[in-house]
Structure 1
Amino acid sequence: MFTSYLPTKIVFGVGAIEKLPNLVKNYGRKALIVTGKKSTKQTGLLDKVRGMLEAVGIETVVFDRVQPNPISDDVDEAARIAIEQNVDFVIGLGGGSAIDSAKAIAISAAMKDAFWNYTHAGAGKKPDRALPIVAIPTTHGTGTEADPFAVITNPRTKEKVGIGYDVIFPKLSIVDPALMASLPKDQTAYTSMDAFYHSLEAFLNIAANPYSDLLAVDSMKRIVSFLMRAYTNGQDIEARTNLAWASTEAGITETLTGVIANHAIEHGLSGFNEKLPHGLGLCITGPYLLEYMFEECKERLAALAKEVFNIQQYSVSKAARLFIEKLYEFQELFDLNQRLSKFGFKEEDLPEIATVAYRIMKGVVVKSPKKLEEKDLVEIMKKAL
């Protein structure tokens, strides 16, 4: 038995951004645009969106201080601005950090309360409302345009916490691959592999189901087929379109099923050191997790060997081993098989990181096919040092 609930209107395709003004007119007359510090300004997208909205009488307020690993302090500051300015809805414009921040701000502004109170690491409150959210992704990785989740870090405790509430499903998501054409090479790789691991982890999740499996496999196949093309030629719009759809599919798999221990480990790591890019962190630890729980997931890995890497006519164990080998080889094409030590992690740091990761993300750790405790997370990270 599984539940499927996706109340988001998704408008997908090249040129979809042009439909924005008519689609948001019913959300109110003033929008808070949440974005990062540079990219949407440099590309002109921020000005374009503001102009489109103002042309149909929607006033805009901009919060442009979102960090790559967004923090609760910024969420609370933006929420205060939203309340003071009496905004009607929130637009997340940019990568996953901008959209996740928009979701968190929408809760804080509607509830008139500090964001951290709505995490299980804080007061554990549950919001009963949020401002309407519009997601406009400029990366093809997080899938946050198609899920009710957001990930925010507390800069004092270094806890990187994921929340999930139906009230923060975007009302509207505009996924326009043309907006992703300016994504740099490294971000092209990092965000695409974030989507890959969303799908891989959903496929291995003990709650996997036929609906999520279908999307997860298709997502991984598209990433393997098109990432190199987008990496070498960012203007390859066919490649960008396939990667954008792979990301949206991966977001839906998160809604249907969810991730497993690899995301818990990475949240612990990048909460401890914000300089570790999320997608890269997943690549560093992911294959070691697969090896660590090999016996419990080898049948599923063997199925992926056939579907994703076209590996045929081997025993289950051999095919599963080949899947991990092919994953390493694929990641190596983009210099993603790095070591945690490169980012300053030391063995003595790992128990504390594992403790925080397990406490904050136990809900996804227990969805892994192998029963894992804190000590297991430490062992996996040790292999990646």
Structure 2
Amino acid sequence: MQEQFKFHMPTEILFENGLTQKMGRYIKGSSVLIISDPFLYKNGTAQRIGDTLAGKTVTYFSDIEPNPSCESVDAATAVARESKADCVIGLGGGSSLDVSKIVSCLVTNPGSIYDYYSGGTRVLESRTTQLVCIPTTAGTGSEVTNVGVFTNRKTHIKMPMVNNQFWPDIAMIDPQLTYTLPSAVTASTGMDAFCHAIEAYWNKNALPMCDMLSMGALKLIIDNIKTAYDTPSNCEARSAMIVASLVAGISFSQTRTTGIHALSFPLTTEFGASHGTACSITLPAFIRVSSQYEAQKMNSLVHYLGYESVEQFADAVEALMRSMNMPVRLHELGVQEKDIPHIAEVGLSAAIIQLTPADMNQKTVEALLRSIL
């Protein structure tokens, strides 16, 4: 047990079925920009939320792609500045929420995202625009973190950006928004939340509070993800999954993630995998190596979750993924033996990989990748 630790969570969290239909009472200012992906705009979800904001000017931006690019951020920023937005609402999965974080800052900070991110020389000053994040998937946890992940098209590298201005003022959790998620998205985002929880648990920056949050989140996911996948209309399973995602998000917001996420970056940008798939495909392998430095802690976790050993737990996670038609071998993403050294090299360039409770170097990471090729 650590003798000293710090836990900081400045975001107000609101949870209620139907919450987004009465959110006007929580929105400050008069000019609101709602950032969503194209699907949520076309199906009317973004407009239905905007319609609840009586008396306010509402503008929409929906040109958000998966693994959002810096160009998308700059395009959304231009709309925010033109409308003089004093509130930015991020609606959707991690891509929309991440873009909303930096756009809320760039409303009053000059220049492009490139001036602040990935080699930029400017520093974001304090944010005055209200930031509200509303997740529509049970997975990313972005609504309760100070992290945004963006793809630099100039370098073709996807990397996280951490800034205390990115903490949302309010996270609005409305389980009803997840009830119509397709099964494939339920699986991918749910396993992303699983990765968040377990990476916070075994993390070299782990905290006692985060351990308890992660254990609870993992139990909720194990007990509910398959039900949500098989029976999308099961409201109890859906609510449990979005709570698990939220709790896992709070946990890893304090610790950051580890090797799973570091290796996911090239798997998304270069092999087209969704974020949740790119993370979870290495999850069983990382579970197997996690006992190198955290054997006692991992044994405690697997016994709490009802398994006899770490190896049995890893096998069960892989079987769960297979049961949801998720890839469990890298060749299913198109990865070949010749790609392994490059993927390892890119993953090792992310500092978070060294928060893994195992030796992470070119040789060990290549071996891990080959074990699931």
Q: Tell me if both proteins adopt one fold, taking TM over 0.5 as the criterion.
A: yes
Distance 1:133 1:122 in 2: 25
Specify the code of the residue in structure 2 equivalent to 1:153.
T
From 300, 304, 317, the equivalent of 2:301 is: 304
Structure-to-structure mapping, 1:232-381, within 5 angstroms: 232-273=230-271, 275-308=272-305, 310-311=306-307, 319-359=309-349, 361-362=350-351, 364-381=352-369
How far did residue 40 of structure 1 move?
4.4
> Residues 237, 381 of structure 1: CA spacing in aligned structure 2 closer, same or farther, 3 A cutoff?
same
Cα deviations across residues 2-28 of structure 1 (Å, max 9, x unaligned)?
21111111111212213310001x2x1
Matched residues, number: 369
Partners of 2:122 and 2:291 in 1: CA distance: 38
> Which residue number in structure 1 is paired with residue 49 of structure 2?
49
Percent identical pairs in the alignment equals: 29
Note the C-alpha offset of 1:156.
Answer: 2.9
CA drift at 1:65: 0.8
Residue 315 (structure 1) aligns with:
none
Q: Which runs of 5+ in 1 are unaligned?
A: 313-318
What letter is aligned with 1:226? N
Q: CA deviation at 1:378?
A: 2.8
Offset of 1:290 from its aligned partner? Answer: 2.6
Superposed CA RMSD in Å reads 1.6
Distance verdict in 2 for CA 1:268–1:377, change over 3 Å: farther
CA drift of 1:278 comes to: 1.1
1:103 Cα offset (Å): 0.9
List 4+ stretches of structure 1 deviating above 3 A.
none
How far did 1:260 drift?
Answer: 0.9
Question: 1:129 is matched with which residue?
Answer: 126
Alignment of 1:1-385 (within 5 A): 1-24=4-27, 26=28, 28-42=29-43, 44-53=44-53, 55=54, 57-119=55-117, 121-123=118-120, 125-130=122-127, 131-273=129-271, 275-308=272-305, 310-311=306-307, 319-359=309-349, 361-362=350-351, 364-385=352-373
What are the superposed Cα offsets for residues 335-355 of structure 1, whole Å, 9 maximum, x if unpaired?
224322222222323333333
179-188 or 147-156: bigger deviation: 147-156
How far apart are the structure 2 equivalents of 1:213 and 1:124? Answer: 36
Distance in 2 separating the partners of 1:354 and 1:110: 38
- Give the counterpart letter for 1:8 in structure 2: T
Whole-Å Cα distance in 2 between the matches of residues 326 and 299 of structure 1? Answer: 20
Q: Aligned partners of 2:22 and 2:6: how far apart in 1?
A: 31
Q: What's the CA shift string for 1:101-128, capped at 9, x where partnerless?
A: 1112223333122113322x32254312
8 Å contact from structure 2 (residues 202, 290) kept in 1: no
Cα gap change, 1:40 to 1:178, in 2 (>3 Å): farther
Distance 1:302 1:276 in 2: 31
State the alpha-carbon separation in 1 of the partners of residues 150 and 337 from structure 2: 25
- How far apart, in 2, do the equivalents of 1:159 and 1:95 lie? 20
The one-letter code of the counterpart of 2:235 is: I
AA in 2 matched with 1:354: A
Any conservation in 2 of the 1:265–1:357 contact (CA below 8 Å)? yes
Residues of 2 paired with 1:242 and 1:216: CA distance? 14
DSSP 3-state at the match of 1:110: coil
Q: Per the alignment, in what secondary structure is the counterpart of residue 25 of structure 2?
A: helix
d(CA) in 2 for partners of 1:349, 1:71: 24
Matched residues in 1 for 2:5 and 2:121: separation? 25
- In the TM superposition, what is the alpha-carbon distance from 1:268 to its structure 2 partner? 2.4
Whichever residue aligns with residue 307 of structure 1, its letter is: Y
